[in-house]
Amino acid sequence: MHPAPYPTRPYPTLPYPTRPQPALHLLNGLWVASCPTCGFQLATARTQARAERRSRRRVCPVCYEVA
């Protein structure tokens, strides 16, 4: 028996780049992930999970100009 409560740790912060979450829209049966800031279309997929995963790998070329 443990009289003291189990020590709770703060949720570990993942080394994930701080990017805004892409906005997902369902258009005509197709999931469209777009930049939440400017609305640039990042990725499209048939499923929400796929669109989310694809868009996470992509960075908005409008908001984040890459050479």
For Zn ion, the binding residues (CB under 5 A) are 35, 37-38, 40, 60, 62-63
CB of 46 to Zn ion, least distance (A): 23
CB of 43 to Zn ion, least distance (A): 13
Nearer to Zn ion, 50 or 58 (CB): 58
CB neighbour list of residue 39: distance below 8 Å, 6 or more residues apart: 23
Is residue 22 within 8 A of residue 32, CB to CB? The reply is no
Rounded to whole angstroms, the Cα distance separating 28 from 21 reads 22
Nearer to Zn ion, 41 or 50 (CB): 41
